Amino acid sequence: MITGGAGMLATDLSRAFNDCGYEVSAPSHAELDVVDGAAVDVALSTIKPSVTIHTAAMHVDPCEADPGAAQRVNAEGSRHVAESCDRRGSELVYISTCGLFGDKIRAYTETDEVVLKTEYAKSKYRGEELVRQVCERAFVVRPGWLFGGETGHQKNFVVQRFEEARQKEVLQSAGDKHGCPTYTGDLAASIIALLESGRYDTYHLVNAGQCTRAGYVQGIVDAFGLDTPVEDVDSSHFPRPADVPDCEILESEVLVQAGVDPMPHWTDAMNRYVRSIRGTLL
């Protein structure tokens, strides 16, 4: 079972698990609100999943506007899922966030101390703590800057930047925010490999390599073979409610211990994803 079934990551997870022979149930938020603990338990008792992947979450900027709701959804909602998984014998994969470590520019591993700048980060990290407390068979996964999914999804970052590159003479993107673009298709494959390992732990799952937001956009432009220039600007050009960390670069110290291969470089992943969707866009 995959919570948040209408989301970008859930879409690619569903496809990957179907391809591996799993029968997938992926209720959307409208079909399953994780804040309702009784509804969560009914869903698991009815579906009887061997694996539950918890992707449902309240996103970054809405969390800043309503911290209480952020805790109810991202923390307590995750506790409901974890308790039901533990009760019903389902393995759990909890999808957390890369935004846990603050502004110092370096790569962060699973054992680094967290610096929680946003309400989103506080709620997701509390979700991690609750998952570890109540579910014995749980993986906590911290992914990077996610891209992938269906081209029609309203939050498809790659498609949005492609359309802008065709319409504008110059693109602007932040040169002071650093992270690891991560393809949902590769992330899904790594999650499947983790499940096969049976090594319950916290994992940083990102494509290899790192870049700024501007470098990320440049990678999208390059993958489509466009020549629209990308200008590095300060992130203050893009004001938003949440003061997201300057650095969201992750690397893993424990993935090799689980026998899971590192994910390919993000530019390779971007090229593969663009090849898979360009026919629907051009």
Nearest to 166 by CA among 114, 116, 220, 94: 220
Helices 266-281 + 157-167 axis angle, to 10: 70
Instruction: Count other C-beta atoms under 10 Å from residue 221's C-beta.
Output: 18
Residue located via tokens 């590095």: 232
- pLDDT above 90 (res 66): yes
Instruction: Count other C-beta atoms under 10 Å from residue 159's C-beta.
Output: 21
Q: Render pLDDT for 34-46 as a digit per residue (tens, 0 to 9).
A: 999 999 999 999 9
The pLDDT confidence band at residue 155, using thresholds 50, 70 and 90, is: confident
Give me the number of domains the chain comprises: 1
Domain hosting 231: range is 2-281
H helix or E strand, kind and range, residue 92: strand 91-95
Query: Any idea what the CATH number is for the domain that residue 212 is in?
Result: 3.40.50.720
Q: Render pLDDT for 207-227 as a digit per residue (tens, 0 to 9).
A: 999 999 999 999 999 999 999
Q: Render pLDDT for 111-127 as a digit per residue (tens, 0 to 9).
A: 999 999 999 999 999 99
What six digits make up the tokens of 51? 């694996």
Strand-strand pairing, 91-95 and 51-54 = parallel
- pLDDT above 80 (res 233): yes
The pLDDT confidence band at residue 263, using thresholds 50, 70 and 90, is: very high
Torsions phi, psi for 182 (to 5 deg): -140, 125
- pLDDT above 90 (res 153): no
- pLDDT above 90 (res 134): yes
The verdict on pTM exceeding 0.95 is: yes
Q: Which residue has the higher pLDDT, 143 or 7?
A: 143
Mean pLDDT of the chain: 97
d(CA 32, CA 60): 21
